[in-house]
A and B are shown apart, each in its own frame.
Chain A
């Protein structure tokens, strides 16, 4: 019985040495893993979605391959409702290899603004959860995650329509000038059309006009929408119905009273 016991002892010692040496070398190797982040690129896709791209540089100077390198970005609103998700997977990064991967995420602005109208007019905050996972030497999975907030700039911040100003054109018609203004706090430019339907106090459509809007990010926009209406339809009060059409989002009707 002494020989089998001795063999068990030898095997155990060998396995322990192997395991400790392996884990120690994995730990030592993890030191030589370097990550770098490039500049975040933002653009608008052909589908009129907002596209984010973050280059990630990974230099694996360790002794082992890195497997299943996965980056996940989740954008959620203040209530925790997810509004966008980006997932990038690199199956393997071989030892001694340096790679640059692009972590992409698409944000459907139209969908976001249709469910969160508040985001159209008010600045807010978005919660971002960032998670990076990888498998060192196909043996030890590691995951790091963090969450932080980023400011959301409203594209139509402080949107306002002033009182209509009338000027006489002839005995039957007025020319109406309606001032319109807003500030684009968003990280994208806005270009599109605004249509205004004017209703008098009897809910009769008295007139309609439209104008082209163009506001680069972080700029103010103001214009006057002009149209004609019959004198008979003029009332001291009423309401405007506003429709916005841009490649990124559509919105309307927005009812704004006047008078």
Chain B
């Protein structure tokens, strides 16, 4: 009974810690977004009316995936969500930036911003993040298998 209570307490503590960590991470990301938006992106919102909604949607999904990944920390699902987050960033950037060529027509003036180089670099970094998540998942499974194997041999790791 005492053992069960201790397990529950430990579990509760772990959940609270994860929630706290996720909240702090989410808050840091949101504050960074807030500053980036108000200092840099806000003037462009007049030119690109879809920008605000688009960036907010991105932040909402990104932070949600980050929080889920934090809650599933210690399981293999954490890496699935991390990989999903990297894939989401790639897909989102390709779709939002229209393949890197962002066009806008204002009255009789058409504006074309070529963000292909930026998109390419962002995709490379996202792929690096994806590779990291895959490696982490492999490493996690490897360590788990190793622990199980040691356990079956009754050897303390």
Roughly how many angstroms separate A20 CA and B125 CA in the complex, as a whole number?
11
Binary contact track A140-152/B, C-beta < 8 Å → 1, others 0: 1111111110000
Q: Report the number of A-B residue pairs with Cβ-Cβ less than 8 Å.
A: 69
Task: List the A residue with the shortest CB-CB distance to B32.
Answer: A20
Is B53 on the interface with A (CB-CB < 8 A)? no
Is A235 on the interface with B (CB-CB < 8 A)? no
Cβ contact within 8 Å between B128 and A139: no
* Shortest distance between the CB of A130 and any CB in chain B (Å): 9
Q: Which of B97-147 contact A (CB under 8 A)?
A: 108-115, 117-118, 121-122, 125, 128-129, 131-132, 135-136, 138-139, 142
> Looking at the complex, which one of B111, B131, B136 makes contact with A142 (CB distance below 8 Å)?
B111
Q: Which of B68-119 contact A (CB under 8 A)?
A: 108-115, 117-118
> Looking at the complex, which one of A19, A24, A25, A145 makes contact with B121 (CB distance below 8 Å)?
A19
Cβ contact within 8 Å between A8 and B109: no
Is A27 on the interface with B (CB-CB < 8 A)? yes
Q: Which residues of A contact B108 (CB under 8 A)?
A: 146-148
Cβ contact within 8 Å between A24 and B43: no
Additional pairs, 10, CB under 8 Å, beyond known A5-B132, A11-B128, A146-B110: A12-B125, A15-B125, A19-B118, A19-B122, A27-B40, A139-B117, A140-B113, A142-B112, A144-B110, A144-B111
Please classify how large the interface on chain B is, using the bins under 10, 10 to 19, 20 to 34, 35 or more: 20 to 34
Roughly how many angstroms separate A27 CA and B115 CA in the complex, as a whole number?
12
6 CB < 8 A contacts A-B? A2-B139, A8-B128, A9-B132, A27-B41, A140-B117, A143-B112
Task: List the A residue with the shortest CB-CB distance to B112.
Answer: A143
Task: List the A residue with the shortest CB-CB distance to B115.
Answer: A140
Roughly how many angstroms separate A19 CA and B128 CA in the complex, as a whole number?
14
Q: Which residues of A contact B118 (CB under 8 A)?
A: 19, 23, 139-140
Is A31 on the interface with B (CB-CB < 8 A)? yes
Q: Which residues of B contact A144 (CB under 8 A)?
A: 109-112
Q: Which residues of B contact A140 (CB under 8 A)?
A: 113-115, 117-118
Q: A interface, by DSSP: helix, strand, loop or mixed?
A: helix
Indicate whether A145 sits within 8 Å of B132 (C-beta atoms), given known contacts A15-B125, A31-B43.
no
Q: Which residues of A contact B44 (CB under 8 A)?
A: 27
Cβ contact within 8 Å between A15 and B128: yes
Q: Which of A12-26 contact B (CB under 8 A)?
A: 12, 15-16, 19-20, 23-25
Cβ contact within 8 Å between B114 and A142: yes
Q: Which residues of B contact A28 (CB under 8 A)?
A: 39-40
Is B148 on the interface with A (CB-CB < 8 A)? no
Is A78 on the interface with B (CB-CB < 8 A)? no
